[in-house]
Amino acid sequence: MLDTTMPATRAATDADHADHADDPSLVRAAVAGDTGAYERIYRRHSPRVYAVLWRLCGGHAARAEDALQETFLQAWRALPGFRFDSSLGTWLHRLGVNAALMELRGSATREASEAGDDGWELLAAVPSVDRCAGTTLDLERALETLPPRARAVLVLHDIEGWKHHEIAEQLQMAVGSSKAQLHRARGLLRARLGEPA
């Protein structure tokens, strides 16, 4: 079972890439029915996938774990069609983000109907983040306070490196809205961290 108490870091080292050199052979073995090979794929890639899911889900471990389980169930079903056009890690990562965004779309629809427009009014009720001057934990806590769509845009753009057109397509919004959400999210994040605008 994956230890989800602390999300993995995003950066992959050269050693990580070298460790993943046998991914194609693991994929072929898993497709042929070798569950041990699939378990190795899971153990190798789930920490990084979980880290982005955890951030997209606002630090809610149970929601991130559900999205992770859905990701690897989808991957198991789709693995026979994997064409190696990208790395296995990139493909799994994209499946994970899509699973989290499906949840986000559902929660955004509920929040929009309850709070109107973008749900920015909810921020007034969010308590300020306890800070110890710039720690990673402070950033993670501040991310949790952002509205889900704003958090998703910020995580996907600034942490995961997605382009606005990709974000807009996945979140079903205009590119301009993605840019506006990013601008607002950054401002809210700076305010939560006590930084000047």
Task: Provide the CATH number for the domain around residue 26.
Answer: 1.10.1740.10
Same domain, 66 and 121: no
Same domain, 96 and 122: no
pLDDT score of 140: 79
DSSP string, 38-52: HHHHHHHHHHHHHHH
pLDDT at 127 over 50: no
Give a yes or no: residue 6 inside a domain: no
Same domain, 157 and 189: yes
pLDDT at 66 over 80: yes
Judge contact between 138 and 131, C-beta under 8 A: yes
Supply the DSSP symbol for 33: T
Same domain, 84 and 137: no
Number of structural domains (the chain) is 2
Give a yes or no: residue 181 inside a domain: yes
Cα–Cα distance measured from residue 181 to residue 147, given in angstroms and rounded to the nearest whole number = 10
Same domain, 99 and 128: no
Judge contact between 100 and 160, C-beta under 8 A: no
Same domain, 196 and 139: yes
Task: Count how many Cα atoms sit within 13 Å of the Cα of residue 46 in the half-sphere of its side chain.
Answer: 22
Same domain, 67 and 131: no
Looking at 66, 81, 108, the residue that finishes a domain is: 108
pLDDT score of 170: 82
50-59, 101-110, 136-145, 152-161: range with lowest mean pLDDT:
101-110
Give a yes or no: residue 9 inside a domain: no
Same domain, 92 and 154: no
pLDDT at 78 over 90: yes
Same domain, 140 and 93: no
**165 Cβ partners below 8 Å, 6+ apart?**
175
pLDDT at 121 over 70: no
Cα–Cα distance measured from residue 53 to residue 165, given in angstroms and rounded to the nearest whole number = 20
Give a yes or no: residue 94 inside a domain: yes
Rg (CA), the chain: 18
Give a yes or no: residue 14 inside a domain: no
pLDDT at 123 over 80: no
pLDDT score of 18: 47
> What does the pLDDT average to over 175-185?
95
Give a yes or no: residue 13 inside a domain: no
Judge contact between 147 and 111, C-beta under 8 A: yes
Same domain, 77 and 130: no
Proportion of the chain above pLDDT 90, given as a percent = 39
Which of 106-110, 121-125, 128-132, 157-161 is predicted most confidently? 157-161
Between 40 and 127, the more confident residue is 40
Q: Please give the mean pLDDT across all residues of the chain.
A: 78
Same domain, 77 and 121: no
51-55, 62-66, 167-171, 175-179: range with lowest mean pLDDT:
167-171
Same domain, 100 and 65: yes
Question: Domain range spanning residue 78?
Answer: 20-108
Give residue 106's pLDDT band: very low, low, confident or very high (50, 70, 90).
low
The model carries a pTM of: 0.68
pLDDT at 19 over 90: no
